[in-house]
Each structure stands twice: as structure tokens, then as C-alpha cells.
Amino acid sequence: MQASNRTQVRTRLAQQQIHPQRVTPLGRLPSGHAHRQWQLQFLYQWYELLTSGFDQQSAWQYLHRNSAHRESAAATHSILRQLQHGESLASALAQHPIFPPHLGMWVGVGEHTGRLPQVLYTLHHTLQSQLVRSQRLRAALRYPLLVLAVAVLMIITMVAFLLPRFAEIYTQLNVTLPQLTHALLQLNNPSLLIIIAVVLMVLFGFTLVLGRRWHGWLYQARSCTRIYRLPLLGSYLRRFQLLQDLRMLTLALDSHIPLHESMQYMARFSDSGYWRERWQRCGKMLETGVSFLICSSRIGIPNPLCQAIAIGEASGRLTTQLGFAITQLERQQDEQQQRFLGLLPTLVLIVVSIITLLLLLALYLPLFQLGQIVG
């Protein structure tokens, strides 16, 4: 029930001779990972309703009645009103940022071609794959980051409390501190600690800025091109976004949209400024009669995909060949990511072991010197 406060809800229910014992407002829609989970659930529910025979009005009424958050209830109510006034579903969806990016555009494609359930299923599958990759990355980084944090705390504890006491004892015994021990003790210098704190704050601030502006940088062609030039990471991101765009291309082709029109969609709605420029060039070349294979080779599409395009154009099964090649390349990227994530804990443990070794040497080298003096 739409209402601005609990009193209004009770009044409306009383008019219907309903007297609730308790009225609880809907919660807020979560953000981040939980928000993407909600988007997946919403798309799948909508897909199931349409495949079960519901029309759009009935499906959105059901989605509205079962809304568990204020934002989703308000959005579904607004979309229902817009549909009743004859507005298109695509334009109504585009006005609500709680839904996945470009959902309105692809829903418009699905409505135009009569394949909306298939479009929703493909979008759900794509978002689910992205979510699984994100979960896998977070799970793989959790242990190394925890170990690294423990190592940093260990360094701080030993430098701040343990090493100074040992240094006092060695000084009283007239034992010259080794260079390693003396260097580690410098970390307890207040001026140096201030410099380290400032550096850490700058790094933390840079991380926050990077997280907020990352997608904006990728959307701009010039900054995106610079990011794609980074060693290892750049090539991975470039191919990852290419595969995402080609998934959308196969979706458009499956919806019986001509290739040059599908390319226009890619040039407008790709999240990568680098690829958006190239899809635009490819669309112009297609309009002049150049084959898709030649266009793809000129804009830097990898050879495995070009081979799939060549076979697809020759056999008339471009979507099938592209889908197969995309699946193979996605599997290769997943394996590459898994190898890196499997190597990361080992690298962190090596770093922590080196730090521990240095601390132990800083503690015991003066003892060895003291033993030599006593001997």
C-alpha cells in the first residue's frame, strides 16, 4: 500500500474494515553486492511471470505487491502508472536507476522483436556471470588481505613495544646495534610515523577516488585507452569488456535486429569508451558494404573471434559461432583469473615470511653480538 506514514495506512485499512495490530514500513534497498543480488532476483521473477503467461500489466502488479523495499515498491508503482497512461515500458524503466544499466534499451529491443522473455533470460545470465566472478574475486582476496593485515599489526607491535626494550638493554650493555635493528627502530620515530600515516591516508583516499571514478574513466574514450595500455590488467579488462559487448551483440542478432543496427546499439551503450569508438567505426564500415570480418580485423578483434565471424558469415550461423567463441574465451579468462588468484596467497605468504625473518634477525643479531663479547 502506498502511503506517506503509518497513520495514513491505518486510516485506509480502517476504511476497508481492516484493523492491523502492527504496521511496519518497508526497508531500504541495499547497495553494492546485495543490490546486484536483488537485480538478479527481480529479472528472474519478471522472466518467470512472462513465460508463465502473465501480460505486462499483471506481471508488474504482482512485482509491485511483492516488493520488499521502498525503492522497488515506488519504482514498480510508477512504472504501472506509466504503462496505464500508454507510455512505453523501455522509457519507464530508464527513469529508475535501481534497475540494471541499459535495461530499458534491451527491453525496448525485446518488445520490438517479440522476444522479451529471451532478452530477460540473457540479461539475467550475463549479470549472474558477472556476480559470480565478483564473488570469486572477493573470496580469493579475503585470506591474503587478512594475512597481510596481521603481518602489519605484528610489525607495528614489535617496532612500537618490543624492539625499543631490547634496544635499551643492549645500550646498557654497551652493545652496538646492528644496522638492521637500528633501521627498524627508526620506524618508531614520531616524524617518520607521521610521514607513514600521511602516505597511508593518501593511498586510502586514492583508493576511494579510484573506486568512485573507475567506471567514469572507463566510459571516456581517452582515459579508457590509457587504462587498457596498462600491462597485464589492461589487456584483461579490454578483452573482458569486448566479450560483454559481444554477448549483447549476439542478443541483438538473436532478436532479428540487422547487424548494422545492432552495431549502432553497441556504439551507444557499451560501457567502454575504447570499444564504443570502435563499434561506431565498424558500423560506418558496414554501411559502406564492408564485411563484418574485415571490420572486426580493422578494429582489433582477437583472431579466435575473427575466425568465428568468418565461419559464421560463410555458413549463415554468425550468432552460433560467435556464442561458441565467446564461451571459449570466457572460459580462458576465468582460468587465467583463477591462476592469478591461486598464486596471490603464495605471494602474500612469501612477503609475510620475509617480514617475519627480518624482525627475527633484528631481535637476535644483537644477542649474537652479545654472546661474542661475553665469550
Confidence at 298, pLDDT banded by 50, 70, 90: very high
Report the chain's mean pLDDT, rounded to a whole number: 82
Residue 46 resides in a domain:
yes
Instruction: State residue 44's pLDDT score.
Output: 92
Cell triple for 31: 547497495
Buried b (16+ CB within 10 A) or exposed e, 313-330: eeeeebeebbbebbeebb
Residue 188 has pLDDT above 80, yes or no: no
- Per-residue confidence (pLDDT) for residue 7, from 0 to 100: 65
Q: What is the pTM of this model?
A: 0.71
Instruction: Report the half-sphere exposure of 229 (CA within 13 A, side-chain side).
Output: 6
Q: What is the pLDDT of residues 150-180, one digit of tens each?
A: 877 877 777 777 777 776 776 776 767 777 7
Report the chain's C-alpha Rg in angstroms: 30
- Confidence check: pLDDT of 215 > 90: no
Cα separation, 88 vs 93, in Å, equals: 9
Any domain includes 282: no
Does any domain span residue 35?
yes
**Residue 84 and residue 107: Cα distance in Å, rounded?**
18
Write down the pLDDT at residue 2: 55
Per-residue pLDDT of 8-50, as tens digits, reads 656 666 666 666 666 666 778 888 778 888 889 999 999 999 9
- Evaluate if residue 51 carries a pLDDT over 80: yes
Query: Residue 169 falls within a domain, yes or no?
Result: no
Task: Give the residue-averaged pLDDT of 206-232.
Answer: 86
Residue 82's domain comprises: 6-99
CB 283 within 8 A of CB 260: yes
Cell of 120: 530477460
Query: pLDDT tens-digit profile of 55-105?
Result: 888 999 999 888 888 888 888 989 999 888 888 888 888 888 888 877 887
Q: What is the mean pLDDT of residues 274-294?
A: 92
Residue 164 lies in a domain: no
The verdict on residue 53 lying in a domain is yes
pLDDT at 85: 86
**pLDDT at 104 (0 to 100):** 80
Predicted confidence at residue 131, as pLDDT, reads 84
Which contacts (CB < 8 Å, 24+ apart) does range 38-43 have?
Answer: 38/69, 38/72, 39/98, 39/99, 39/100, 39/127, 40/124, 40/127, 40/128, 40/131, 42/72, 42/99, 43/100, 43/120, 43/123, 43/124, 43/127
Per-residue model confidence (pLDDT) at position 371: 64
Is the residue at 356 inside a domain?
A: no
Number of folded domains in the chain?
Answer: 1
Given this model, what pLDDT does residue 225 score?
Answer: 92
> Which residues are CB-contacts of 86 (< 8 A; sequence separation ≥ 6)?
none
Q: Which residue shows C-alpha cell 567506471?
A: 215
Asked, for residue 175, whether it belongs to a domain, the answer is no
